[in-house]
């Protein structure tokens, strides 16, 4: 089983997965950004977004499938994925491999997203780069929130402004996993 936690940058995907980890210890965590970072070291990313690389999408799907099949454990995936074509491509590959995928989307107001992004430090040793990354995330708020309407019909929308513990309770209940306390 794969539990994909989706949402805009700053919506709380990683925070939710961090809350789920101790409550669902058998689950593995797979961050597809790591695949993007590796590819960025090897090839140019003309658009600046490694999700636009077909190889990234293929590798993410293949690695997620491989983790489930090889280790027979659930996999938590915190990753913004809102382009309908890319969602279809990755989730289609998971379905074709017979992997059950639960897709959650954290809905958060744009004002809260901006505040959360401004509170984060991405590259503490490089303030100029830090601000550039923050702006990149902010520039994607509108497309990410607008894309929620085009996500697959079985996507579960959660109020990303709730406490992480409440969100984790909801995820665990929906997927029927982990201890509830």
Q: What is the pLDDT of residues 64-98, one digit of tens each?
A: 999 999 999 999 999 999 999 999 999 999 999 99
Provide the number of structural domains found in the chain: 1
Is residue 54 in a domain? yes
In-domain check, residue 180: no
DSSP conformation class of 181: -
Residue at 175 is within a domain: no
Cα gap 69→153, rounded to integer Å: 26
Residue 147 lies in a domain: yes
**Is 176 part of a structural domain of the chain?**
no
Q: What pLDDT is stored for residue 25 in this prediction?
A: 95
pTM: 0.93
31 by Cβ neighbours in 10 Å (0-12 / 13-18 / 19+) ranks as middle
- What is the domain range of residue 98? 2-169
Specify the CATH number for the domain of residue 76: 3.40.50.300
- The pair of three-digit structure tokens given for residue 95, joined into one six-digit string: 């379905």
What is the structure's pLDDT at 122?
Answer: 83
CA gap 1, 126 in Å, rounded: 39
- For the chain, the first-to-last Cα distance in angstroms comes to 21
As a dihedral over the C-alpha atoms of residue 39, residue 41, residue 44, residue 46, rounded to 10 degrees, the angle is: 70
Q: Is residue 174 part of a domain?
A: no
Say what the pLDDT of residue 124 is. Answer: 85
Over residues 1-49, the pLDDT tens digits come to 999 999 999 999 999 999 999 999 999 999 999 999 999 999 999 998 9
Does 129 map to a domain?
yes
Specify if 181 maps to a domain. Answer: no
Cα separation, 179 vs 77, whole angstroms: 19
Report pLDDT digits (tens) over 155-166: 999 999 999 999
pLDDT at 19: 97
């Amino acid at each position: 089983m794969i539990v994909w936690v989706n949402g805009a940058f700053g919506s709380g995907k990683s925070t939710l997965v961090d809350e789920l980890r101790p409550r669902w210890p058998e689950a593995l965590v797979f961050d597809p950004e790591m695949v993007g970072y590796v590819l960025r070291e090897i090839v140019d990313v003309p658009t600046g977004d490694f999700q636009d690389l077909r190889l990234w999408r293929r590798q993410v799907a293949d690695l997620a499938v491989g983790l489930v099949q090889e280790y027979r454990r659930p996999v938590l995936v915190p990753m913004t994925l809102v382009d309908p074509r890319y969602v279809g491509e990755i989730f289609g590959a998971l379905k074709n491999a017979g992997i059950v995928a639960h897709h959650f989307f954290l809905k958060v107001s744009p004002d809260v997203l901006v505040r959360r992004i401004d509170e984060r430090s991405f590259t503490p040793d490089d303030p100029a780069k830090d601000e550039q990354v923050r702006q990149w995330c902010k520039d994607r708020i509108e497309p990410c929130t607008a894309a929620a309407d085009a996500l697959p019909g079985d996507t579960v929308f959660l109020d990303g402004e709730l406490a992480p513990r409440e969100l984790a309770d909801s995820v665990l209940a929906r997927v029927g996993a982990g201890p509830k306390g």
